[in-house]
Amino acid sequence: MLDKAKAKTDSATAAAGPPVDFQAHLRALEARGLVTRIERAIDKDRELHPLVRWQFQGGLREDDRRAFLFTNVVDGSGRRYDIPVAVGALGASPQIYAAGMGCAVEDIGKAWLRAVAHPIAPVMTTSAPCQEVVIKGDALRGPGNGLARLPVPVSTPGFDSAPYLTATLCITRDPETGVQNMGTYRAALKATDRLGVRMSSRPGGAGGYLHWRKYQKRKEPMPCAIVIGCAPVVLFTGPQKLAIDQDEMAVAGGLAGAPIRIARALSVDLNVPADAEIVIEGLIDSELLEPEGPFGESHGHVALEDFNMSMRVTAITHKRSPVFVSIISQVTPSESSVMKKVAFEPMFLTHLRDQLGIRGVKRVAMHEPLTNLRKVIFVQFAHGTARTEIWRALRGAASLRADCGKMCIAVSEDIDPTNTDAVFWSLAYRSDPGIDVQVAPYRSAGHGPKSGKREDSTILIDATLKASAPPLALPGREFMEKARVIWDELGLPAITPQPPWHGYSLGDWDERYDVYAKRAVDGAWEVSGAETSARRRGGLTPETPVRDADKNKKKS
């Protein structure tokens, strides 16, 4: 069970930096009230993931999501597991992710930039908690042994073909350069000593796949170590997709502000995080592939059966009292999409604003619900940004990553890019498809269901405000705020204001209109009526704008 011996020490040092291992992170989350403990018996194959899934599909606010810790895990046959399962503890919300980074949510992007620029090499140790228990040889085989000892949940009951390892850090090594790569890849339980591993082979895909190709040429199996549960700063390097030749363990050290402790794996020539919960070591066949799937994928569809890698397990090592870690993926929003979103958005903003030097960019928002970040990107600009800068930014957002930016839409600063209704309003009234839309062919199809199509296109849309416009037709802020106070006093249903929730100026206004508006709320509207009566005029067509008529009168 969860080791509580160092709980007080951890809480006292929480402000010192990121947690050094997963259980320290879990205790820090509990201290903040961000963990829901479930002590009743929960079936890992039928109930566990669906229960956590409800906090993403049940209309909860993002800040109300929690990590779940299941301490009484069983399966359909009634077997009871002595290892607890944690789900949502890595990225159920930005606050949980930030806790793992040891920083505030708004500082996540800066932390990544510092770590990439200033990596800290790991240090080797011979004292590895992840190797306190070792399972090898015959202990890996037979009913209930090996992988079957681990409480691996079924992620998408009703569709998945097997329990899957999801919160993985898969470590491989380039056989030519010796540089290790760490990636997050799914792995299906096939036998007590065999896994089916999927590493993306598309352009911009997995570093582990590139290593596998090199082993294939050498006609050698590829050593692999799959880490389950470690310091979040180590695990977060997997989905971050750093450069292929960059040592992720050193970047993790940069995030931690100190070297990550590593140890030599027991049965393969790889280095693993010494303080990990569980490590599964093995050899991946570089010649024979095995059918793998179906599995509910993060693009929101069930991935059907593909031929993927087959890994023979050579050892399982773990702490004396480990915690098994799983993540919620599949349809977004999900834990896996939060883990990408909080890191990717600052990365894109930095690329546009700092690397490309584009002026006027205020924010980048990657659309999360259902589309899983990669396909739709919104770029927010300050009012008055030059159109040349807007188009440079749209092209830059669409080209930074091969799998991101199929649709890039520019909006002005009064539009909340996380509010799709506001974005559609902007598209409807601020874009002219004839001149504000560009379509570019020859884009990678990216992450999604296989349809036989390997190429796609990119659409770029400038939906920014091109000229001043009349105010948004909602009551002014002061009136909405006063009404909100009355609403609460009356005990009416709880509300969550969705921007825009008050009217504001968009530049097309006259001081005279302010006078009219003030008189209206003061009950002095008849004064305005007397003034407009004096300005009556003949020879006009109804709906003629007053300012146009006034201009024509001055000209004549």
pLDDT tens figures, 338-378:
988 998 999 999 999 999 999 999 999 999 998 888 899 99
Is residue 4 scored above 50 in pLDDT?
A: no
Spatial CA neighbour of 283 closest among 161, 150, 175 = 175
Torsion sign (Cα): 357, 360, 362, 367: negative
Q: What is the pLDDT of residue 372?
A: 87
- Say which residue, 299 or 52, is predicted with more confidence: 52
% of the chain surpassing 70 pLDDT? 94
Element spanning 130, H or E: none
233: left (phi over 0), alpha (psi -120 to 50) or beta: alpha
Nearest to 253 by CA among 228, 220, 283, 230: 230
Lowest mean pLDDT among 41-45, 190-194, 216-220, 493-497: 493-497
Quick one: pLDDT at residue 16? 59
pLDDT(388) > 50: yes
> What is the distance between the alpha carbons of residues 226 and 167, in angstroms, rounded to a whole number?
10
Quick one: pLDDT at residue 556? 66
State the chain's mean pLDDT as an integer: 91
Query: What per-residue confidence (pLDDT) applies to 7?
Result: 42
Tell me the pLDDT band of 14, cut-offs 50, 70 and 90: very low
Structure tokens, 395: 């092209």
CATH 2.30.110.10 in the chain is located at 7-326
Q: Extract the tokens encoding 24.
A: 């320290």
12: pLDDT strictly greater than 50: no
CB 12 within 8 A of CB 21: no
Question: In this predicted structure, what is the pLDDT of residue 384?
Answer: 93
**Regarding beta strands 35-38 and 67-70, do their DSSP bridges make them parallel or antiparallel, or are they unpaired?**
parallel
The token pair at 18 is 């990121």
Cβ density class 453-491: b for 16+ within 10 Å, e for less: eeeeebbbbbbbbeeeeeeeeeeeeeeeeeeeeeeeeee
Angle between helices 335-350 and 94-101 (to 10 degrees): 70
CA distance 53 to 369: 14
pLDDT for 453: 63
CA atoms within 13 A on the CB side of 182: 26
At 8, is the pLDDT very low, low, confident or very high (cuts 50, 70, 90)? Answer: very low
**355: DSSP letter:** I
pLDDT at 5: 41
Closest CA to 221 of 314, 318, 306, 316: 314
CA dist., res. 281 & res. 269, Å (int): 10
pLDDT (0 to 100) of residue 522: 94
- pLDDT over threshold 80, residue 203: no
Give 245's Cβ-side CA count (13 Å radius): 2
Q: Is the pLDDT of residue 336 over 60?
A: yes
How far apart CA 284 and CA 186 sit, in angstroms, is 14
Share of the chain above pLDDT 90, in %: 76
Q: Which strands sit side by side in the sheet containing 42-43, from one edge to the other?
A: 42-43, 73-74, 80-81
pLDDT value of residue 450: 67
Give the tens place of pLDDT for each residue, 473-520: 999 999 999 999 999 999 999 988 888 999 999 999 999 999 999 999
356-462 CATH choice from 3.40.50.1460, 3.40.1670.10, 3.40.50.2300, 2.60.120.40:
3.40.1670.10
For residue 138, count other CB atoms closer than 10 A to its CB: 10
- How far apart CA 183 and CA 328 sit, in angstroms, is 17
Name the pLDDT band for 448 (thresholds 50, 70, 90).
Answer: low
Q: Residue 52: which of 322, 303, 325 has the closest Cα?
A: 325
Query: Of the given ranges (202-206, 217-221, 233-237), which has the lowest mean pLDDT?
Result: 202-206
pLDDT computed for residue 361 by the predictor: 97
Q: Where are the alpha helices (DSSP H) in 400-522?
A: 420-430, 433-436, 477-489, 511-522
Structure token pair of residue 460:
């770029």
3-class SS of residue 435? helix
Phi, psi of 301 (to 5 degrees): -115, 160
Asked if the model's pLDDT at residue 237 lies above 70, the reply is yes
Mapped onto helix, strand or coil, the DSSP state of residue 112 is helix
Give the phi and the psi of residue 229 in degrees, each rounded to 5. Answer: 85, 110
Helix (H) or strand (E) holding 370: none
What are the tens digits of pLDDT across the range 58-112? 888 899 999 999 999 999 888 999 999 999 999 999 999 999 999 999 999 899 9
With beta carbons less than 8 A apart as the criterion, state whether 116 and 243 touch. no
Band of residue 228 on the pLDDT scale cut at 50, 70, 90: very high
pLDDT beyond 80 at 198 = yes
Would you say 160 and 187 are in contact if contact means Cβ atoms under 8 Å apart? no
Confidence of residue 13 (pLDDT cuts 50, 70, 90): very low
- What single-letter DSSP state applies at residue 469? B
Rounded to an integer, what distance in angstroms lies between the CA atom of residue 69 and that of residue 91? Answer: 14
Q: Report pLDDT for 23.
A: 97
Q: Give the list of residues 6+ apart from residue 256 with CB closer than 8 angstroms, or none.
A: 17, 18, 20, 102, 120, 231, 233
Looking at residue 552, its pLDDT comes to 77
In this structure, the number of other CB atoms found within 10 A of the CB of residue 243 comes to: 10
Positions of CATH 3.40.1670.10 in the chain: 356-462
Single pTM value for the model: 0.87
Lowest mean pLDDT among 40-54, 164-178, 196-210: 196-210
The token pair that represents 192 in the structure block: 């007590």
Could you tell me which CATH number the domain at 7-326 has?
2.30.110.10
